[in-house]
Amino acid sequence: MNNLFYRFDRLIEQILYGVRAIADLLLVSAKRLTDLTHKKSVRHISQRDFLHIFQRLAMLLTAGVPQSTAILILYDQTSNERQKLYLKHLHDEVIKGRLLSKVLADQAVAPLAFKTLISLGEQTGTLPKQMTTAVGELLALRQSKQQIMTSLLYPAILLVLTMSITLFLLVGVFPKITPVFSTLRAELPLSTRILMSTSSWLGDYGLWLLLLMVVMGVIFWIFIQRSSWLARRATAISMSIPVLRYIIRTWNIIQIVRMLAVLLESGVRGSDAVALVSQHIHNPLYKSTLKQISGELVLGRKLSDLFGHHKKLFPSDMVGLVQVAEQSGSLPKTCAMVAELYAQDLDVYHKKLTTLIEPILMIIMGLTIGFIAVSIITPLYGLTNALSQ
């Protein structure tokens, strides 16, 4: 009997040990999952939320509120869960004694120039000023990008609508009328025969064509991301088109001179400022050119001369303004002025381009649908006349 009780106690003890082990494992897994979710939320915060947080943080710091207290105030005020997680992460790191620039160092949402200005502000004791400047520049760039996207939205909608209607008529409507045309002994008009062949081909191979285009697009995108030479060649081809050349060049110049103005005004050395801007720019042609210019600035060469050697990327009027600014010692202010001028020019150009594109797309839409309608109606009209006779 005693032996039986002993075995029973041992069994209960082993069961309890196993339950505790499973509970510990579940707790560790839950903690790891929570940490992973927290890190993912911090890592994938949108730039909009990022700017929203730091814009208000800069205002509180300017008002004299301590950094950790300002973060707590923002944490209590916001109802956005992602922002709360991000602010909690910032507060925990700041409480540990880490500098804000070190916390931002491993976050992809913060541009390199933004991190540089924050670090510079911490070193010089001007963090509120530098943060306000950095946020202002990011907001200006974001606004410029939104203006470009907004101006191109309506033409893009018209283009997609035209293609959708055309495909619907060719694939959905025309095949139902084709058997009627096949019974006619008379010769069909050329436009009708073209539409019949196109409709038949799309019905047989349309999905394969779409799949091929998607696969080729993905492969091309992967190669561009991995091959700097191919990326430069693709950019060079796009910049050989007059309309795209002006838009791409002007947009990149706005980003370059705007960031240069901020960095130079903050006391960053010219070669270091250009190197930082080269890491901020996504265009491969401008990126490689700025890296080269940064290396040559260390040797004592002038920025205007180096810009002048790349006339396809930097227009002569910009080079002239930079040259005058170097002689007068007002390069940061001149860069800011150039950015403002080019932003205004680009806005006017987009408005003119949109005004020109819209009627052209409307004409194309009308001609396309009219061509299809005439190709359908003409043989039907001929059939009606034949039957009436």
pLDDT for residue 382: 66
Ranges 160-169, 322-331, 347-356, most confident? 322-331
Is pLDDT above 50 for 29? no
Find the mean pLDDT for residues 329-347.
87
Residue 77 has pLDDT above 80, yes or no: yes
Q: Are 366 and 164 in contact (CB under 8 A)?
A: no
Encoded amino acid at 183, one letter: T
Phi and psi (nearest 5°) for 309? -75, -10
Domain boundary residue, one of 61, 82, 110: 110
pTM as predicted: 0.69
Q: Any alpha helices (H) in 44-126, and if so which ranges?
A: 47-62, 67-77, 81-95, 100-104, 112-124
Which range marks the domain in which residue 322 is found? Answer: 125-200+241-270+297-389
Q: Are 105 and 60 found together in one domain?
A: yes
At 173, the pLDDT band (50, 70, 90 cuts) reads: confident
Across 59-63, 171-175, 328-332, least confident range: 171-175
Task: Name the domain count of the chain.
Answer: 2
Please state the rounded mean pLDDT for residues 272-297.
87
Within this chain, do residues 265 and 356 fall inside the same structural domain, yes or no? yes
Average pLDDT, the chain: 79
Report yes or no on 279 lying in a domain: no
Whether residue 69 is found in the same domain as residue 103: yes
Residues 136, 173 within the same domain: yes
Which of residues 60, 76, 110 is at a domain's end? 110
Asked if residue 383 and residue 357 are part of one domain, the reply reads yes
Kindly report, residue by residue over 223-277, the tens digit of the pLDDT.
Answer: 777 777 777 788 888 888 888 888 888 888 988 888 888 888 888 888 888 888 8
For residue 156, is it within any domain? Answer: yes
- Which tokens is 241 given? 């088109």
Mean pLDDT, residues 355-370: 82
- State yes or no: pLDDT of 38 exceeds 70: no
Residue 38 maps to a domain: no
What distances in angstroms separate CA 314 from CA 98, 141, 187, 350, 351, one per listed residue? 41, 19, 59, 20, 23
The pLDDT tens digits for 150-170 are 777 777 787 888 888 888 877
Residue 117 lies in a domain: no
Residues 6+ away with beta carbon under 8 Å from 75: 84, 87, 88, 91
Dihedral of the alpha carbons of 264, 269, 274, 279, in degrees to the nearest 10: -100
The Cα–Cα gap between 139 and 143 comes to 6
Distance CA 276, CA 259 (A): 9
pLDDT band at 221 (very low <50, low <70, confident <90, very high): confident
Q: Is residue 285, in this structure, part of any structural domain at all?
A: no
On the question of pLDDT at 9 being above 80, the answer is no
Please tell me the distance from the alpha carbon of residue 198 to that of residue 190, in angstroms, as a whole number: 12
Q: Do the domain assignments include residue 155?
A: yes
Least confident of 58-72, 218-232, 290-304, 325-339: 218-232
Whether residues 246 and 103 share a domain: the answer is: no
310 vs 236: CA distance, rounded Å: 13
Do 255 and 347 sit in the same domain of this protein? Answer: yes
Share of the chain above pLDDT 70, in %: 85
Task: Copy the structure tokens of residue 311.
Answer: 């006339």
pLDDT on residue 12? 55
Q: Which two tokens stand for residue 77?
A: 């005020």
Is residue 313 within 8 A of residue 286, CB to CB? The reply is yes
User: Looking at the domain assignment, is residue 7 inside a domain?
Assistant: no
- Both 247 and 131 in one domain: the answer is yes
The residue among 110, 133, 153 that closes a domain is 110
Same domain membership, residue 165 and residue 56: no
Higher pLDDT, 44 or 162: 162
Check whether residue 171 and residue 302 sit in a common domain. Answer: yes
pLDDT of residue 18: 54
What is the predicted pLDDT for the residue at 42? 52
Same domain, 310 and 176: yes
Both 248 and 337 in one domain: the answer is: yes
- Distance, in Å, from the CA atom of 86 to the CA atom of 50, rounded to the nearest integer, reads 9
Within a domain: residue 22?
no
What tokens were used for 267? 């006391």
Within the chain, residue ranges assigned H as helices are 2-43, 47-62, 67-77, 81-95, 100-104, 112-124, 127-167, 174-182, 190-226, 228-239, 242-265, 270-280, 284-297, 303-308, 316-328, 331-388
Q: Of the given ranges (25-29, 88-92, 207-211, 226-230), which has the lowest mean pLDDT?
A: 25-29
